[in-house]
């Protein structure tokens, strides 16, 4: 009876089952929000604004009184998962993309900035895909590697007790 071979085969079977289950679960949890979700750009506030002024911003004023133009400054726009209330979302312009994602751009931006932000969002899609693939891969493979290392370590310790 070869215990090492049997444990290795058990590890292969468990790993395959884990990869299928964890991969599907991680995909279902990560992909909808990361790839096909709703996003909004992070608004860049003018540098001269202090923390107290930022907290007191009147968003009913013209947008460029407190915000900067990302297209003029050639800024790399960051995006966050949409956390707008339905009322605030109705005051934003929605841009739909072929991959199923939606971008909500504040209505205060001019058309040049809206196009610039939308293009930045579309150009960054591969980074979002890479992030999602990394998370799904980590969920599927890391536990299998840890199980292999743990099992092989125990087998190595057990072989140390064999008679010469």
Residues 117 and 136 reside in one and the same domain: no
Stronger pLDDT, 43 or 21, i.e. the higher one: 21
Residues 117 and 130 reside in one and the same domain: no
Query: What average pLDDT does range 8-17 have in this prediction?
Result: 92
What tokens appear for 28 in the block? 């279902």
What tokens appear for 112 in the block? 């040049």
| pLDDT tens per residue across span 78-136 | 888 877 677 667 778 889 999 888 898 888 888 999 999 999 999 999 998 898 889 88
Q: What is the pLDDT of residue 41?
A: 87
Q: What is the pLDDT of residue 116?
A: 93
Angle at 143 between CA 138 and CA 146, to 5 degrees: 120
Q: What percent of the chain has pLDDT over 70?
A: 88
Residues 70 and 47 reside in one and the same domain: yes
Query: What average pLDDT does range 8-35 have in this prediction?
Result: 88
Average pLDDT across the chain, whole number: 84
Residues 53 and 105 reside in one and the same domain: yes
Q: What is the pLDDT of residue 36?
A: 81
Q: How confident is the model at residue 163 (pLDDT cuts 50, 70, 90)?
A: confident
Residues 82 and 105 reside in one and the same domain: yes
Query: What average pLDDT does range 130-155 have in this prediction?
Result: 91
pTM of the predicted structure, to 2 decimals:
0.72
Phi, psi for residue 106 in degrees, rounded to 5: -55, 140
Q: What is the pLDDT of residue 48?
A: 61
Residues 41 and 98 reside in one and the same domain: yes
Residues 77 and 154 reside in one and the same domain: no
Residue 60 structural domain: 36-123
> Cβ(22)–Cβ(135) under 8 Å?
no
Residues 72 and 58 reside in one and the same domain: yes
Residues 108 and 65 reside in one and the same domain: yes
Helices of type H across 35-124: 51-55, 70-73, 86-90, 111-123
């Amino acid at each position: 009876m070869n215990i090492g071979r049997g444990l290795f085969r058990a590890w292969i079977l468990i790993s395959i089952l884990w990869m299928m289950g964890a991969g599907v679960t991680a995909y279902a949890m990560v992909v909808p929000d990361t790839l096909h979700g709703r996003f909004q750009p992070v608004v860049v506030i003018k540098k001269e604004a202090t923390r107290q002024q930022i907290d007191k911003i009147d968003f009913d004023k013209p947008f460029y009184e407190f915000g900067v133009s990302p297209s003029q400054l050639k800024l790399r726009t960051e995006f966050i998962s949409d956390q707008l209330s339905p009322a605030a979302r109705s005051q934003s312009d929605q841009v739909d993309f072929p991959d199923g994602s939606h971008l909500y751009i504040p209505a205060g931006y001019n058309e040049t900035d809206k196009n610039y932000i939308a293009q930045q969002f579309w150009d960054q899609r591969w980074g979002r895909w890479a992030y999602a693939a990394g998370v799904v891969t980590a969920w599927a493979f890391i536990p299998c590697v840890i199980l292999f290392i743990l099992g092989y370590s125990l087998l190595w310790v057990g072989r140390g007790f064999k008679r010469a």
